[in-house]
Each structure stands twice: as C-alpha cells, then as structure tokens.
C-alpha cells in the first residue's frame, strides 16, 4: 500500500476532521513526506527514506477505513511503533525526523 501526495493530503484532512486521536500521526507523516520530498525531489516508494513510511501509511489507511465503516481505530501504541522505521530512515539518510510535538492537534470546533 502506498499513498501519493494527493491521497496523503486527503487522508490528513479526513483524519483531522473525523479521527482527532490519529491526527498527530497523520501530520507526522505529512511532515515526513515534505522532508523526503525536499531532500530527494520526489515522494514515491522508491525515494530514499520514503519506504520507512509504509507501516504508518497502512495504519492511517486503517484509521480512514475505521472512520468510514465505523470499525476499530488503531491505538496509539500501534502508531508509535509505526513511526520507528521513519526515525531509523531519517538517521540512515541524514534527514531530520519530524517530532510528534511539532504535529499539533487540529483546531477545536467552535
């Protein structure tokens, strides 16, 4: 499973709107995509560093399906485990990994 830039932006929007518990991890992936793209000029599965995002992409897809089908949402431990390959890829390729602290939660509705 892979998400191109448009699919990832849509997933972030859906999760921001309907699954705020997963939003920090969606922002994390979006920020990682931006870091990889700035470094390598592309965001695809073959781009160095991008492959580390596969586990997180799968979980975000599962979160999106959970929103649509009212099924179980992945828990925080699963998300935290899924960012480990990104952290490893960042170190391996000399890139700065985003932090969850930078992935701020969505604004609260008024």
Segment 9-57, tens digit of pLDDT: 999 999 999 999 999 999 999 999 999 999 988 888 788 788 889 999 9
Domain boundaries, the chain: 5-93
pLDDT range class, residue 105, cuts 50, 70, 90? low
Of residues 47, 55, 48, the one with CA closest to residue 29: 55
Whether 103 shows a pLDDT value over 50: the answer reads no
pTM: 0.85
Handedness of CA 23, 29, 34, 35 (dihedral sign): positive
pLDDT tens per residue across span 82-94: 999 999 999 999 9
Dist CA 107 CA 67 (whole Å): 19
């Amino acid at each position: 499973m892979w998400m191109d830039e448009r699919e990832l932006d849509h997933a972030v929007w859906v999760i921001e709107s309907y699954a705020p518990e997963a939003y920090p991890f969606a922002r994390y992936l979006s920020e990682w995509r931006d870091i990889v793209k700035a470094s390598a000029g592309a965001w695809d599965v073959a781009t160095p560093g991008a492959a580390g995002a596969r586990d997180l992409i799968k979980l975000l897809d599962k979160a999106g399906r959970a929103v649509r089908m009212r099924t179980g949402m992945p828990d925080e431990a699963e998300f935290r485990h899924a960012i480990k390959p990104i952290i490893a890829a960042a170190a391996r390729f000399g890139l700065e990994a985003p932090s969850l602290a930078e992935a701020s939660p969505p604004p609260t509705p008024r």
